[in-house]
Amino acid sequence: MRWSIVSALALVLAVGCDKKPEAAPTPPPVASPAAPKPAASPAAAAPKASAKPATAKTAPLPDKVKHAVPTDWEVRDHQAKGFSFHVPAGTKEHQESKEGIDIYLAELPKPHDSIQVFVAAFKDPAKKVPEMKVLVEKVIKDLDTAADYKLVKEEALSDQYTLLDVTWTGTDKKKNHAWVLIALDVTDRYFMIVGSDEDKFKASEDTVGAILASFDMYSSGAGSAGEHATE
């Protein structure tokens, strides 16, 4: 299981061809000239807007799936895209963005270098968990020319988070194993794939679990992905 940021462009194609083109905005109607308004008195002046932005709300994973994050791990904080997670110190991250889709690929240092971390972030409120599962399968198959893809287990952790346990045979004919976290906010969609070769996965489970459990969304504050997001 070894993906490059170049091969990750397959994700852009996989997601991009699956998204419906946005309709062109309707031009606003031309308003007729309005009569001049009388000047407002100083007492009627509009109040100044607060210069301090509202504090962003976070949507962490449920406590039941939390793993202790080692103190020497580093945070990968992507506030502009609305998420963060932790990785071992010395991890190198690569990023690719195109057509509103952001891809993050992390290369972990030894002794964790058998683990691959892949994160995708984009906006598509139409995609719920069923559509995201189809997308994850499509991306893995595109990235690794995967055969024998199998969803071993699925667990709904909350309205916003779903955990998948998946396996597949890659281009190199090796069996691969990964845990996939699907995360939904109001319009934001994320999925994180963390895994390795099957023969190394069992020994890496604690590290894989800690990376996934450290994932956090900066919620827009509009009420999460919705009461029926996992339907």
Query: pTM to 2 decimals?
Result: 0.75
* CA atoms of 29 and 190, how far apart (whole Å): 37
Residue closest to 70 by CA, chosen among 224, 206, 231, 221: 206
Inside any domain, residue 139: yes
Inside any domain, residue 42: no
Inside any domain, residue 183: yes
Inside any domain, residue 93: yes
Could you report the per-residue pLDDT of 15-33, keeping only the tens digit for each? 555 555 444 445 555 555 5
Total number of domains constituting the chain: 1
Inside any domain, residue 25: no
Q: Which domain holds residue 119?
A: 70-219
Q: Give the chain's length.
A: 231
- Taking CA atoms, 211 is separated from 9, 46, 221, 228, in Å, by 23, 48, 24, 27
pLDDT of 58 reads 57
Could you report the per-residue pLDDT of 144-197, keeping only the tens digit for each? 777 899 999 999 998 899 999 999 998 888 899 999 999 999 899 999 999 999
Residue closest to 2 by CA, chosen among 193, 165, 152, 138: 193
Burial pattern 25-53, b for ≥16 Cβ within 10 A else e, equals eeeeeeeeeeeeeeeeeeeeeeeeeeeee
* CA atoms of 100 and 12, how far apart (whole Å): 9
- State the amino acid at position 190 in one-letter form: Y
pLDDT of 177 reads 96
- State the amino acid at position 121 in one-letter form: A
Inside any domain, residue 199: yes
Inside any domain, residue 94: yes
Inside any domain, residue 79: yes
CATH number of the CATH domain containing 77: 3.40.1000.10
* CA atoms of 88 and 125, how far apart (whole Å): 32
